[in-house]
Amino acid sequence: MSRRFALSLAVVAAVLAALTLSNIRYSPWTNTSARTVDQRGPLSDAERANIELFERVSPSVVQVVARSGTANPLAEDEGGEAGAGAASGTGFVWDNDGHVVTNNHVVQNSSEVAVRFASGEVAQAEIIGVAPNYDLAVLRIRSPRKLPPPVGLGSSSELKVGQFAFAIGNPFGLDQSLTSGIISALKRRLPTSSGREIANVIQTDTAINPGNSGGPLLDSAGRLIGVNTAILSPSGTSAGIGFAIPVDIVNRVVPELIGKGRVPTPGIGIVAASEAVSTRLGVEGVIIVRTAPGSPAERAGIRGVDFNSGALGDVIVQADGKPVHRLSDLTDQIEQIGTGKSIRIGLKRGSQTREINIDIVDVGRS
């Protein structure tokens, strides 16, 4: 092929390409209007169930903003998040008397609290009771108003690992967010700021992020099964491990907070060794370090560690007929029975084991 012939072919190809582009660009058949929307079929049963759950429960979920000092808790920084000196979390309507449940750590040390409803309406609230041992707090809306219906209650004792779970909250200040997942584990133990542990905590992979604290964890029927309280994450954001206070504990603690402003701390008056110490010594049970003066444990003759000889005293190995492997096993049984009653505990001293009845008192009162 000669050079002149090749050059001629290139020129012809360029002319044809230009003509083709011109025809495409200016063709009378070119469609310049918006495309027709394809009609979809009906939503799946699962989608309809999720939508119905959110539309029914979300009006009863509120954003909680608590501010310390004299700053206005209703003020917002740019971006819609709580400003400096404020904590933002979630709460939900508990009853028709204006009570809202949230986490203690959301409102602790605050001087002013406000709630924002799904409608956008904002109301001042007051703290009427806190329970640091359970990371729960109860607020009351100050001004009377027509409230959304209370969130329906379920039972955490009926839960099974693998069933669906849903959370509605305000992660990162983004209100009315729905996330879903499953119940990943049950009977977890969660330390609180008061130094005690909450027993039977629910673990879920439902996304729970900062701002979700205090919001409801729901089953597929839209019933409350827990109060979201914490995540386990090095980054501080959801890593698929969230924790919720079980509703059976919530339903026991909240009425106490509404009626008395506090909840009793049931105990028998002992100071126990840490679980790490028990493991290091190869002891199965709760090692008694000492008893509180005048406590039921002291009156019952329970013996602590002899610091002069280093000899162990009593080890609690059973409570209310159930084995005790760690302190949370004991406190769980004591809390279920409650103050003003007695519990039968099994004590091991050396090679001897005996059982005694011991009174349960409110060790939280000074």
The DSSP code sequence of 318-366 is: EETTEE-SSHHHHHHHHHHH-TTSEEEEEEEETTEEEEEEEE-EETT--
* Confidence at residue 248, expressed as pLDDT on a 0 to 100 scale: 94
pLDDT tens digit string along 122-180?
Answer: 999 999 999 998 999 999 998 767 899 999 999 999 999 999 999 999 988 788 899 99
* Confidence at residue 310, expressed as pLDDT on a 0 to 100 scale: 81
Show Cβ contacts of residue 291 under 8 Å, excluding neighbours closer than 6 positions: 269, 270, 271, 297, 298, 302, 304
* Confidence at residue 76, expressed as pLDDT on a 0 to 100 scale: 45
The overall longest dimension of the chain from CA atoms, in Å, is 116
Residue 99's nearest CA partner among 251, 249, 213 is 251
Catalytic residue of the set 213, 278, 295, 328? 213
The DSSP code sequence of 30-41 is: ---SPPPPPPP-
| CA–CA gap between residue 249 and residue 346 (Å, rounded) | 25
- Once rounded to an integer, what is the mean pLDDT over residues 289-311? 90
- Once rounded to an integer, what is the mean pLDDT over residues 65-69? 83
**Helix (H) and strand (E) counts for the chain?**
7, 20
E strand or H helix at 14 = helix 3-26
Instruction: Please indicate whether residue 19 or residue 116 has the higher confidence score (pLDDT).
Output: 116
Average pLDDT, the chain: 85
* Contact between 67 and 110 (Cβ < 8 Å): yes
* Confidence at residue 6, expressed as pLDDT on a 0 to 100 scale: 56
pLDDT over 90 for what percent of the chain? 54
pLDDT over 70 for what percent of the chain? 83
Backbone phi, psi, residue 129, to 5°: -175, 145
With bands split at pLDDT 50, 70 and 90, how would you rate the model's confidence at 197?
Answer: confident
Show Cβ contacts of residue 319 under 8 Å, excluding neighbours closer than 6 positions: 329, 330, 333, 334, 343, 344, 345, 346
Catalytic residue of the set 60, 88, 99, 135? 135
Instruction: Please indicate whether residue 273 or residue 227 has the higher confidence score (pLDDT).
Output: 227
Is 105 marked active-site? yes
Is 325 marked active-site? no
pLDDT tens digit string along 5-14?
Answer: 555 555 555 5
The DSSP code sequence of 60-77 is: GEEEEEEE-TTS-TT-B-
pLDDT tens digit string along 201-241?
Answer: 999 999 888 889 999 999 999 999 999 997 765 556 656 78
Catalytic residue of the set 58, 60, 99, 105? 105
With bands split at pLDDT 50, 70 and 90, how would you rate the model's confidence at 79?
Answer: very low
- Once rounded to an integer, what is the mean pLDDT over residues 227-256? 83
* Contact between 260 and 328 (Cβ < 8 Å): no
Beta bridge partners of 100: 93, 139
pLDDT tens digit string along 331-352?
Answer: 889 988 989 999 999 999 988 9
Residue 68's nearest CA partner among 82, 81, 86, 83 is 86
Is 213 marked active-site? yes
* Contact between 228 and 244 (Cβ < 8 Å): yes
